[in-house]
Amino acid sequence: MCKWYLRPGEQKDVAVSSRIRLARNLKGMPFPNKMTPEQKYEVIQKVSDALLQSGDPAAADFKFIDMDKISRNEAYAMAERHLISPDFAENGQGRALLLNTDESVSIMINEEDHIRIQVLAAGLQLEQAYQKADQIDTLLEQRLQFAFDTNLGYLTECPTNLGTGMRACVMVHIPALEAMGAVPQLANTISKIGLTMRGTYGEGSEVKCAMYQISNQITLGISEKAAIDNLSAMIKQILARERQARQGIDHDKLEDMVFRALGLLRSARMISGDEFLGLASKLRLGIGMGIITEVPIETVDALILTCRPAALQSEAGGALDAESRDKLRARKVRQQLNQQ
């Protein structure tokens, strides 16, 4: 089964991916930061049994991963692919992960909350991602008692997640708006309507490859549908603005930039992570604008996720110095792009 990021998605020239995350906690148990090791193990057992022993077809292709029994490098590679949070990767003690085959659904156990259900989908597919997350949520709630208040909604460790416990997010690729210097103003605008703009790997992270996360901030006093609708409406405006900005780029200069990027990526013998991401962003822009037609945009997205440092070391089966990583990255990129 191919990974979720290799599948086509709506509006994929600008909207890279959609994500729905639901935070849930078990009734009668302290939050993870207050639990004993025994309590953490109890939560892991209850949540994993509730899914894996349910007999439900939706749970058929999940595997259980004890985060304390995998290498930190493997964990960091998962964080690079957005399957888990950086904090979850940093410390695996008393934590576990339920992950399905195509990596579109991951359930973090004992992160900030007892349960973090996450669904990823290619392109702009917020409603589809929510339907899948809601299906898993319902399956677990049939077998577990969640902490819930009639006034506050789902109870969460962080007050900003109270209510629905839902964070909806779309990753957008906006190189033209970034080049125009329009991102700060855009971030200010969306903050006024209850949305936020973050770096490529979430709060406090750097921006890589001109990719930004746009997500809802408000979870209390608003329904899941309203939150998704608000986010979708703003994303569509961002898509239109980015496409308009792209049309303003000098076509000859744009073509030259894009073909140079493709040429370097197809021939380089060593390439650093930052250089690769810069070139990949230009190539992705060229594909989105129809300048490059022989390389699928899904190929570029897959390389962006799998050519990060931890991913390369995980693929190699051990630690690599920077030079070895640069060589492996270049070889991997050449192989993929020259097959097209």
Residue 302 near residue 12, CB atoms below 8 Å: no
What is the Cα Rg of the chain in Å? 21
pLDDT at site 116: 98
Give the SS3 label for residue 122. strand
Q: Token digits for 311?
A: 């991913």
Among the listed residues 10, 335, 334, 14, the one whose alpha carbon sits nearest the alpha carbon of residue 177: 14
pLDDT at site 204: 65
Length of the chain: 340
* Global pTM value: 0.94
How many whole angstroms separate alpha carbon 195 and alpha carbon 187? 9
Residue 327 near residue 276, CB atoms below 8 Å: no
CA 233 to each of CA 124, 128, 182, 208, 240: distance values in angstroms, whole numbers, following the listed order? 11, 16, 19, 24, 11
pLDDT at site 81: 94
Among the listed residues 5, 83, 19, 7, the one whose alpha carbon sits nearest the alpha carbon of residue 213: 19
Give the SS3 label for residue 174. coil
Q: Which amino acid appears at position 56 of this protein?
A: D
Those residues whose C-beta lies under 8 Å from the C-beta of residue 103, and which sit 6 or more positions away, are: 3, 4, 81, 83, 120
Which CATH superfamily is 4-245 part of?
Glutamine synthetase/guanido kinase, catalytic domain (3.30.590.10)
pLDDT at site 340: 62
CA 169 to each of CA 18, 21, 69: distance values in angstroms, whole numbers, following the listed order? 6, 8, 30
Half-sphere exposure of 267 (CA within 13 A, CB side): 6
How many whole angstroms separate alpha carbon 85 and alpha carbon 116? 10
How many whole angstroms separate alpha carbon 141 and alpha carbon 149? 15
* pLDDT in single tens digits along all 340 residues of the chain: 789 999 999 999 999 999 999 999 999 999 999 999 999 999 999 999 999 999 888 888 999 999 999 999 999 999 999 999 999 999 999 999 999 999 999 999 999 999 999 999 999 999 999 999 999 999 999 999 999 999 999 999 999 999 999 999 999 999 999 999 999 999 999 999 999 999 877 666 688 899 999 999 989 899 999 999 999 999 999 999 999 999 999 999 999 999 999 999 999 999 999 999 999 999 999 999 999 999 999 999 999 999 999 999 999 988 999 999 999 999 999 999 987 6
